[in-house]
Structure 1
Amino acid sequence: MEVSSQLRLDKRKEDVGTSLFHCRMEQRRLLNPQEEMKFLLHRLVVVASLPQQLEDRRDIGAHYEELNQRLQRKYQGDAVTGLLLLYPTCMLHVMESSSEVLAGVLQDLRDMQEGPHGARIEVSKILVMSHDLPSRLFQQWSYELLNMEARVGVALGRDAPGDDEEEDTETLVRTALSMVLKLGSHLLKPTIKGVKTPLGSRLDVMPEMIVPQDLLVKLLSRDLLSPQEYLQAYLTPLHIPMDTGHVFGSSQPTTV
């Protein structure tokens, strides 16, 4: 009887919002009073190499425009924001939405690598999957074609841009993500006198905030989680022995 009474008491406490989940949701509501939080916000940052036989990079942009519309029809209310940068040989994609939408993006990325009529993406790596974010970094989703010859040395702040000194993976990832955050924060700033400026024009005046293609190429060769590995962990059920509290499942982490 004492156990049943305690369970009912715990249930009443959770109903009035004393659980960690409810506390976190209330905190998010206070931070975003103008936005009704219908789902937890996550951010995915991936890098991928483009095949040499790709004739028009705009086909990739059009593909993601169609994919975003399809996912938003399936998960109504889960808005998608972000930025897709298409370099001559690779791409950098930042997306913000629910976990279900981002899992769909990774599944599509995996399918693009394994397409029966030739891969539209050759190699892809996840730089980060950030969970439960307080706010968005981008106001909408868009893509832009870039023609850049910047080198990794500039992004890392070296004195000699041509220096081929090997950098560890953590430093490269941290540098790329730092530049992504700075770029997103800059794009959030209002334009002069409220005039809407095309994304390409805004990127042209701040090349130092754009992640160099050379840095992305280096990241593609590092031991980072692939979409296939992430999805395997994401879709693997967890086994929790009630007597120990330990969680067993895939050895791959679900976050980077």
Structure 2
Amino acid sequence: MGKKSQRRLGKLQLEIDELTSETRTSVLMHKQAQQRTERKKSLLHRLFFLAKTSPEMVDKKVLGGYYENLFQKLQRSHQAEGITGLLLLYSSHVIHLLESSSDVLYSVIRDLKDMQQQERALLLEPKILLISHNIPSRLFQQWEYNVLNITAERLDDTLQGEPIEKIVSEFLTLFLKLGTHIQKTYKEFPNKPLSSVLDNVPELNVPQELIERVLKSNELLTPHQFLDVYDASISVIMDSEFVWPKPEHLLPETRK
């Protein structure tokens, strides 16, 4: 990712940090914040993945319910950071951003991997777009999902033929702008429905063709590939292996 793209994402993160100082809260969120202050058991991380939806899944809300149940189970087994984020359900694709502890996020990735072994998987061909570690603040203050009624759009002509690094950078920038807009709107109108917020900014919705372009990239890892790397044993290199010339093992002198 180029320096210009990094500066752009850094500026967006500063806007996110400012927004998180005043956001709508609930009793559950207050309790979770109190637990984090008292125990500080884990750091905050962010997971971003994409996938196709099963053509057999007519009602996209089924996937929203699936993740609600999964998060309830993970919250009971991982008494640490809460789970926040946004799941956008397109006609044939999904974008999912999650913020929580590393244990929770890796459990979600393992669930994605296991799902691919099922005969009727809800999600197909998932790819890990980004994992950010030790982020300073949340982009979202709760987890929500929304079904989008968006037809397929053409990929911006300026992105045609561009390397995947630039495509991903534009993708992330657009989505972070959307998240920042949602936070600003909730700050001013705490009870406004998410669907209404998204309808007001169609230019910030990621085009489906851009999602498809990213999913076809071989540079991004599938959950299976990611976990193979994550679970691989670490090869320890001894300090002596960096010495040159290589130490010789002296043999005892033979007696004449």
Tell me what 1:220 maps to: 215
Q: Distance in 2 between matches of 1:79 and 1:195?
A: 20
8 Å contact 2:51–2:126 — kept in the other structure? yes
Q: Which amino acid aligns with 2:70?
A: L
Asked which structure has the greater CA Rg, the reply is 2
Q: Which moved more, 1:199-208 or 1:234-243?
A: 234-243
Tell me what 1:128 maps to: 130
Q: Structure 2: any 5+ residue segments left out of the alignment?
A: 1-19, 22-32, 243-256
2:127 counterpart SS class? strand
Once the two structures are superposed, what CA deviation does each residue of 1:157-199 show, in whole Å capped at 9, x if it has no partner? x4xxxxx932321121111111111111111115475441000
Structure 1 residues 191 and 140, CA, compared in 2 at 3 Å: closer, same or farther?
Answer: closer
Structure 1 residues 202 and 111, CA, compared in 2 at 3 Å: closer, same or farther?
Answer: same
Tell me what 2:107 maps to: 104
Q: Is 1:171 paired with 2:173?
A: no
1:150, CA displacement in angstroms? 4.9
1:125 counterpart SS class? strand
Structure 1 residues 118 and 78, CA, compared in 2 at 3 Å: closer, same or farther?
Answer: same
Q: Which moved more, 1:183-192 or 1:198-207?
A: 183-192
Once the two structures are superposed, what CA deviation does each residue of 1:48-77 show, in whole Å capped at 9, x if it has no partner? 011212221111110000111111111012
Q: What are the equivalent positions in structure 2 for 1:236-247 lying under 5 Å apart?
A: 236-243=232-239
Q: Distance in 1 between matches of 2:206 and 2:92?
A: 13
% same residue: 41
8 Å contact 2:174–2:205 — kept in the other structure? yes
Q: Is 1:72 paired with 2:75?
A: yes
8 Å contact 2:155–2:207 — kept in the other structure? no
Once the two structures are superposed, what CA deviation does each residue of 1:79-122 show, in whole Å capped at 9, x if it has no partner? 1100000000110000011111011101111122211x322222
Tell me what 1:210 maps to: 205
Once the two structures are superposed, what CA deviation does each residue of 1:26-69 show, in whole Å capped at 9, x if it has no partner? xxxxx999962431111111000112122211111100001111
Tell me what 2:9 maps to: none
Q: Distance in 1 between matches of 2:185 and 2:58?
A: 35
1:95 counterpart SS class? strand
Q: Which amino acid aligns with 1:239?
A: S
Selected match of 1:45 from 32, 44, 48: 48
Q: Distance in 2 between matches of 1:214 and 1:244?
A: 52
Q: Distance in 1 between matches of 2:177 and 2:116?
A: 30
8 Å contact 2:112–2:223 — kept in the other structure? yes
Q: Is 1:186 paired with 2:188?
A: no
Q: Distance in 1 between matches of 2:46 and 2:57?
A: 27
Q: Structure 1: any 5+ residue segments left out of the alignment?
A: 1-30, 159-163, 247-256
Q: Which amino acid aligns with 2:135?
A: L
Q: Distance in 2 between matches of 1:213 and 1:243?
A: 50
Structure 1 residues 103 and 191, CA, compared in 2 at 3 Å: closer, same or farther?
Answer: closer
Q: Distance in 2 between matches of 1:168 and 1:174?
A: 10
How many residues are aligned here? 208
1:123 counterpart SS class? strand
